[in-house]
Amino acid sequence: MIKLMYNLVIYLNMTKKLKTDSKKIIVELNGVVKHFGEIVALDGVSAQIREGEFFSLLGPSGCGKTTLLRLIAGFEQPTKGNITIDGFQMDGVEANERPTNMVFQSYAIFPHLNVEENVGYGLKRLNLGKDETARRVDEMLNLVDLDNYNKRPAHALSGGQRQRVALARSLIMKPKVLLLDEPLSSLDKNLREQMQVELRHLQRSVGITFIFVTHDQEEALTMSDRTAVMFEGQIVQIATPQEIYSRPKSKRVASFIGVMNFIEGQLLKDGDQNTTVDAGILGNVKVNPDQMPIPLNSGPVTIGIRPEMLTLLIEDQDRTEFEIGGVILEGAYFGDMTNYTVQVKGLKSPLTISMRNTAGRRVLEDGESARVGWGADSLVILNKS
């Protein structure tokens, strides 16, 4: 691990010039539509991906995220719309002529070749000569911490090693954009978490734009600069992980990424600076415009609040901005955290509250009555439905 970091620092210095203007748009998607017969896989996707960013496509399976990646790679052509990479229109440009490389979900390591032949596969067409090819392959193997694996046959590699070979094989081509199709999904939990960190560091150090497809929301949040959330062939929100988590644009995004409590309410508007929301039993609360990810008019709305934004006030002297009484239905103990389900009188469904088990804080019993504390700025106002 430490060695890998060290290698990355060296590589970083070598490729510093790659990190240029970070505002430059490297991949642009313009109303991309893709049909497979009757099935609409992508339904008008537009997005701009900046040079050098770690951009992830997040969504449940079947949402079209892999199709979008394959369109960028050039394995499929869009039915409508167009894709621009590094300023060039990609209409009719084949995969082998695009400045992109892909890490496949299955890794697609050539089984009849050894590690060095796999990594050097794409260099062969460049006619670099034996020495230069060998030098670059060694450099890449060093980068992914597989020194001296040159002659190892493909079938003798573990899952994590295959992934490193797949990465090295793509990075050696010095792509403008590296496309990764759920590359961590087949690794076990520990290795996956380790690779998340390594991949993130690798991306930062080589400065290549990564477009990373995943259905694991935690993975997307921890790794990306920006994330696009996709449902049913459409991008519903593109934002930084923090923004997506704290200011989701819809109920669907909110419940796909983490857990959120929903309360029915009414929006009362009196000019943008003076908006209040009637949260029923929780009372009337003044809200800021930035708590509404999409502008809303007066009328029924859904109010969202994350479980960790709610507090159980255990000691008598504990105070928050607002509080309300409830009864603990169930506590699920996770060691560092306890997740409570709390019934509050006047609310249709119970609230989920997650509390850190900090020093001196006791775990509440089922059936115990409790005071639920919260703050106005932790609410997010969403469209009803």
Partner 1 sequence: MKSNKNTLKVFAYSYLIFLYAPVLLLPIFAFNDSTIISFPLNSFTFKWFAGLTQETYLQESLKNSLFVAISTSILSTCLGILASRASSRYEFFGKKSILSFLILPLFLPEIIIGVALLVVLMQLGLPLSLWTVILGHTLVCTPFSIAILNSAFANMDMSLEEASLDLGETRFGTFKRVIFPMVSPGLIASLLIGFTISLDEFIIAFFLTGTETTLPVYIWGQLRFPAKLPGVMALGFLMLLLSLILLLLAEFFRRRMNRTTDDQVNVQFGNLFKHDKKT
**Interface with partner 1 (CB under 8 A):** 73-75, 94-97, 100-102, 104-108, 110-112, 121-122, 124-126, 154-155, 159, 162, 169-170, 173, 185-189, 216-218, 258-259, 334
Q: Which is nearer to partner 1, 17 or 189 (CB)?
A: 189
CB-wise, 43 or 193, nearer to partner 1? 193
Reduced to 3 states (helix: H, G, I; strand: E, B; else coil), residue 288 is coil
Q: Which helix (H) or strand (E) holds 80?
A: strand 80-85
Pick between residue 142 and residue 339 the one whose CB is nearest to partner 1.
339
CA distance 122 to 274: 61
User: Least Å distance between CB 211 and partner 1?
Assistant: 14
Q: How far apart are CA 155 and CA 148, in angstroms?
A: 16
The order of strands in the sheet holding 311-313 is 311-313, 369-374, 322-333, 337-344, 351-356
Toward partner 1, which CB reaches closer, 265 or 307?
307
Nearest-approach distance from CB 212 to partner 1, in angstroms = 16
State phi, psi for 301 to the nearest 5 degrees: -140, 170
Rounded least distance, CB 380 to partner 1, Å: 17
State in angstroms the smallest separation of the CB of 63 from partner 1.
17
Q: What CA–CA distance (Å, rounded) separates 110 from 116? A: 11
Integer angstrom CA distances of residue 326 from 185, 274, 331: 40, 30, 14
d(CA 250, CA 215): 18
Shortest Cβ distance from residue 104 to partner 1 (Å)? 5
Strands (E), 280-378: 284-287, 299-305, 311-313, 322-333, 337-344, 351-356, 369-374
CB of 262 to partner 1, least distance (A): 16
Nearer to partner 1, 105 or 383 (CB): 105
Q: Report the C-alpha gap between 311 and 320 in whole angstroms.
A: 8
The tokens describing 385, both together, are: 């439905």
Kindly state the DSSP code that residue 153 receives in the 8-state scheme: B
User: Shortest approach of partner 1 to residue 131 CB, angstroms?
Assistant: 20
Read off the tokens for 55.
């951009």
Closer residue to partner 1, CB minimum distance, 95 or 327: 95
User: Which residue's CB is nearer to partner 1, number 185 or number 369?
Assistant: 185
SS3 221: helix
Q: Closest distance between partner 1 and the C-beta of residue 16, in Å?
A: 25
Q: Which is nearer to partner 1, 209 or 275 (CB)?
A: 209
Question: Closest CB to partner 1 among 168 and 282?
Answer: 168
Using DSSP, state whether 285 is helix, strand or coil.
Answer: strand
Cα 193 to the chain's mean position, in Å? 14
* Residue 297 CA to its chain's centroid (Å): 30
Tell me how far, at minimum, the Cβ of 97 lies from partner 1, in Å.
Answer: 8
